[in-house]
């Protein structure tokens, strides 16, 4: 098992005896439950935020609900800007601090568990996954782009990430502070909601094309266009947890590679380092052999006469538990230190929220 520690392409060996897994795999059931809980949480936050916006649009009359700070999880650029602000000044920003806490939490998840955020929590990832599954039912298959198209297209998300990183990297702490204090910065979340409420024909066409492409190509948005996923993918390269294959128990059936939505050659590697791996564990679920494929920490050498390696697999409950600890940990730290809510006076919202749709309004 010494080869567990290195990424090497294994030569095809003679047929090996299959030792069937003793227990049925539950990773996909657990993951889907986590995914839909997170979709429901986002739906609840979205509804509460909508009611909050309507209150201010009606001039502060009618039903009042408090602003759910969790909506800032949908402001990753604000999260990145605020993280830079914290890094440069050592101070927690006052506008959209929750965006930063959630952003840092999602980065930590990637550092520990590959891009698990994408496959376990991100609602866009959940819809993306269900779209390609629907596409497979409707068209009887998904398409795989040829390498010459796939590789440059995969670079697009890094270009988008580079674009944002360049702009934000070039901003001073004062510039970041000033931007967040503009009317646009203060109600960036309202503007995002308005984008979906008053979606124009062009946006509908673009979203429609993306939906169709997502039905045809597995995780089209995530694989080619999502700059957030690109950033998480880069952090995930440092993750100690990886999909690891034991060449001794593996029977080289190739099932893992065939089901991998990232199209990775799981059946030929001993560990998956790729930034595209989202720890979805679909490959693990498909593997018929006991202990042949696991999402695990690096194996530890057991000092004994046989010099065996101790495998440290991470089951679906462990993954879900770590994700929950990081997510709720970030929220709790932010709340306990009074950095969860954006502190903007009510009269400022009364002035700005009704005009968030109006691009000609000063600062919008
Ligand atoms: S290697 Fe496995 S865990 Fe990683 S993306 Fe492919 S199927 Fe998912
Ligand atoms: S699914 Fe992959 S890891 Fe499992 S036995 Fe087949 S080739 Fe080996």
Has residue 265 been placed in a domain? yes
CB 104 within 8 A of CB 83: yes
Instruction: Check whether 231 has a pLDDT greater than 60.
Output: yes
Q: How confident is the model at residue 188 (pLDDT cuts 50, 70, 90)?
A: very high
Q: How confident is the model at residue 43 (pLDDT cuts 50, 70, 90)?
A: very high
Average pLDDT over residues 286-308: 84
Task: Name the closest ligand to CA 19.
Answer: 2
- CA 117 to ligand 2 centroid distance, Å: 25
Has residue 286 been placed in a domain? yes
pLDDT of residue 56: 96
Has residue 202 been placed in a domain? no
Residues 53-78 have pLDDT tens digits of 999 999 999 999 999 999 999 999 99
Sign of CA dihedral 118, 122, 126, 131: negative
Average pLDDT over residues 260-265: 96
Has residue 296 been placed in a domain? yes
Angle CA(139)–CA(142)–CA(144) in degrees, nearest 5? 145
Instruction: Check whether 8 has a pLDDT greater than 50.
Output: no
Mean pLDDT, the chain, as a whole number? 92
Average pLDDT over residues 93-111: 97
Residues 120-172 have pLDDT tens digits of 999 999 999 999 999 999 999 999 999 999 999 999 999 999 999 999 999 99
pLDDT of residue 14: 57
Has residue 111 been placed in a domain? no
Angle CA(165)–CA(227)–CA(114) in degrees, nearest 5? 105
pLDDT of residue 92: 96
Q: Is 60 helix (H, G, I), strand (E, B) or coil?
A: coil
Has residue 273 been placed in a domain? yes
The ligand 2 site (C-beta within 6 Å) comprises 245, 250-256, 266-267, 286-287, 289, 292-293
Binning the chain into helix, strand and coil, the percentages to the nearest 5 are 60, 5, 35
Task: Decide whether any atom of ligand 1 lies within 6 Å of the 280 Cβ.
Answer: yes
- CA 127 to ligand 1 centroid distance, Å: 17
228 vs 311: which has the higher pLDDT: 228
User: Which of 267, 269, 294 to mutate to test ligand 2, by most ligand atoms within 8 A of the CB atom?
Assistant: 267
Task: Decide whether any atom of ligand 1 lies within 6 Å of the 266 Cβ.
Answer: yes
- CA 129 to ligand 1 centroid distance, Å: 13
Q: How confident is the model at residue 16 (pLDDT cuts 50, 70, 90)?
A: confident
- CA 75 to ligand 1 centroid distance, Å: 27
User: Which of 252, 260, 271 to mutate to test ligand 2, by most ligand atoms within 8 A of the CB atom?
Assistant: 252
Q: Name the CA dihedral angle for 208, 213, 219, 223, rounded to a multiple of 10 degrees.
A: -100
Q: How confident is the model at residue 302 (pLDDT cuts 50, 70, 90)?
A: confident
Instruction: Check whether 193 has a pLDDT greater than 70.
Output: yes
Has residue 14 been placed in a domain? yes
- CA 125 to ligand 2 centroid distance, Å: 25
Task: Name the closest ligand to CA 273.
Answer: 1
Has residue 295 been placed in a domain? yes
- CA 265 to ligand 1 centroid distance, Å: 9
- Residue located nearest, by CA, to atom 4 of ligand 1: 277
CB 51 within 8 A of CB 65: yes
Instruction: Check whether 4 has a pLDDT greater than 90.
Output: no
pLDDT of residue 15: 67
Average pLDDT over residues 260-289: 97
The structural domain count of the chain equals 1
| 310 membership: H or E segment, kind and range | strand 309-313
Average pLDDT over residues 228-232: 98
Q: What percent of the chain has pLDDT over 70?
A: 93
- CA 284 to ligand 2 centroid distance, Å: 8
pLDDT of residue 283: 98
Q: How confident is the model at residue 18 (pLDDT cuts 50, 70, 90)?
A: confident
Its domain, for residue 11, covers: 2-26+242-316
Instruction: Check whether 181 has a pLDDT greater than 60.
Output: yes
Annotate 243-281 with b (16+ C-beta within 10 A) or e (fewer).
bbbbbebbbbbebbbeebbbbbebbbbbbbebbbbbbbb
């Amino acid at each position: 098992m010494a080869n567990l520690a290195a990424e090497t392409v294994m030569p095809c060996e003679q047929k090996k005896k299959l030792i069937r897994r003793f227990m049925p795999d539950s990773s996909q059931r657990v993951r889907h439950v986590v995914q839909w809980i997170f979709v429901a949480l986002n739906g609840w936050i979205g509804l509460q935020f909508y009611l909050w916006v309507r209150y201010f649009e009606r001039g502060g009359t009618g039903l009042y609900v408090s602003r759910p700070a969790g909506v800032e999880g949908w402001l990753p650029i604000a999260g990145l800007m605020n993280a830079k602000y914290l890094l440069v000044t050592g101070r927690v920003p006052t506008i959209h601090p929750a965006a930063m806490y959630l952003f840092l939490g999602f980065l930590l998840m990637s550092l520990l568990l590959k891009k698990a955020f994408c496959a376990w929590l991100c609602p866009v990832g959940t819809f993306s996954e269900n779209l390609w599954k629907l596409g497979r039912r409707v068209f009887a298959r998904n398409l795989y782009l040829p390498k010459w198209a796939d590789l440059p297209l995969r670079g697009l998300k890094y270009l988008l990430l580079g674009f944002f990183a360049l702009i934000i990297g070039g901003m001073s702490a004062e510039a970041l502070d000033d931007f967040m204090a503009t009317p646009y910065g203060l109600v960036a979340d309202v503007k995002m909601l308005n984008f979906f409420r008053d979606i124009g024909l062009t946006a509908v066409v673009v979203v429609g094309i993306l939906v169709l492409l997502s039905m045809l190509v597995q995780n089209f948005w995530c694989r080619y266009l999502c700059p957030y996923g690109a950033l998480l993918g880069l952090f995930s390269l440092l993750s100690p947890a990886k999909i690891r294959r034991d060449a001794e128990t593996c029977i080289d059936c190739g099932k893992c590679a065939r089901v991998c939505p990232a199209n990775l050659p799981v059946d030929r590697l001993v560990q998956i380092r790729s930034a595209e791996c989202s720890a979805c564990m679909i490959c693990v679920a498909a593997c018929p052999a006991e202990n042949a494929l696991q999402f695990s920490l690096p194996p530890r050498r057991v000092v004994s006469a046989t010099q065996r390696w101790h495998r440290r697999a991470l089951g679906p409950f462990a993954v879900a538990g770590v994700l929950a600890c990081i997510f709720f940990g970030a929220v709790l730290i932010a709340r306990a230190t009074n950095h969860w809510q954006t502190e903007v006076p009510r009269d400022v919202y009364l002035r700005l929220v009704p005009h968030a749709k109006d691009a000609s309004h000063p600062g919008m």
